[in-house]
């Protein structure tokens, strides 16, 4: 299998972390976004959205990072993707929440405080955008904090795809100045995730 991506991006790190945890071979095909790699015809044939990551497995191509995580996890059943129907539903709940709500709440902070200036050299952060984004960020961080106040993991009592879907975007907390002061339980969980070899290895891929 091959993962076409920017390996340091949160959505790529999700898939890389799953593959490393499960020992599933995964080759990284680096993409140069400023050079327009995702807009080239051969890439658009794999992913017509012109986004990344994209997984290829033989003649099969798959986009959407959480779908990619589940596909990789299917290679080693009842590990990061549990067998129990209720636990599966709970994992899915967090995966959908992450994609629909949490990452969109974090993304403006990542863009304004890092991507905009460091990657694209488009000038300083827009403080109005940041102020609005932080309001949305707090709305969803309260949900995460409530869960992690009483649990070590997001689902059950063990690592699942849910943890590996959410931790990478939160790993930008310091660099992108997320307002984390009111979320000690989430920071405890995040720092524990950072200490695991699997999470560190996904960052270094």
Considering only 134-143, 182-191, 194-203, which range has the smallest mean pLDDT? 194-203
Structure tokens at 167: 């931790």
The residues facing 152 across adjacent strands are: none
Mapped onto helix, strand or coil, the DSSP state of residue 201 is helix
Residue 205 — pLDDT band, cuts 50, 70, 90? low
Mean pLDDT, residues 26-51 = 97
C-alpha distances in Å from residue 149, one per residue of 98, 129, 135, 169, 186: 18, 30, 21, 19, 8
Q: Are strands 60-63 and 54-57 parallel, antiparallel or unpaired?
A: antiparallel
pLDDT on residue 115: 86
Considering only 70-74, 168-172, 174-178, 197-201, which range has the smallest mean pLDDT? 197-201
Mapped onto helix, strand or coil, the DSSP state of residue 148 is helix
Mean pLDDT, residues 137-165 = 97
Query: What domains can be seen in the chain, in order of their start residue?
Result: 2-74 (3.40.30.10), 85-202 (1.20.1050.10)
Dihedral class, residue 64 (left if φ above 0, else alpha if ψ from -120 to 50, else beta) = left
Mean pLDDT, residues 146-164 = 96
Measured over the CA atoms of residue 64, residue 55, residue 5 and residue 17, the dihedral's sign is positive
Residue 196 — pLDDT band, cuts 50, 70, 90? confident
User: Is residue 87's pLDDT more than 90?
Assistant: yes
Query: What's the rounded Cα separation, in Å, for the pair 45 and 143?
Result: 38
What is the separation of C-alpha 115 from the centre of its chain, rounded to a whole number of angstroms? 16
User: Is residue 186's pLDDT more than 90?
Assistant: yes
pLDDT on residue 201: 66
């Amino acid at each position: 299998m091959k993962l076409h991506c920017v390996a340091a991006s949160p959505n790529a790190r999700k898939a890389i972390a799953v593959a490393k945890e499960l020992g599933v071979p995964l080759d990284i095909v680096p993409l140069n976004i400023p050079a327009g790699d995702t807009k080239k015809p051969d890439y658009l044939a794999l992913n017509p959205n012109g986004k990344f990551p994209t997984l290829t497995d033989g003649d099969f191509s798959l986009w959407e990072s959480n779908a990619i995580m589940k596909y990789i996890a299917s290679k080693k059943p009842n590990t990061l993707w549990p067998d129990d129907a209720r636990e599966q539903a709970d994992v899915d709940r967090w995966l959908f929440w992450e994609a629909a709500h949490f990452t969109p709440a974090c993304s403006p902070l990542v863009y304004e405080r890092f991507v905009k200036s460091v990657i694209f050299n488009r000038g300083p952060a827009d403080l109005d955008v940041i102020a609005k984004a932080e309001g949305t960020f707090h709305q969803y961080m309260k949900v995460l904090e409530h869960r992690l106040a009483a649990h070590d993991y997001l689902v059950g009592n063990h690592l699942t795809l849910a943890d590996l879907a959410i931790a990478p975007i939160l790993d930008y907390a310091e660099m992108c100045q997320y307002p984390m002061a009111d979320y000690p339980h989430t920071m405890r969980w995040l720092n524990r995730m950072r200490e695991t070899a699997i999470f560190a290895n996904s960052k270094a891929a």
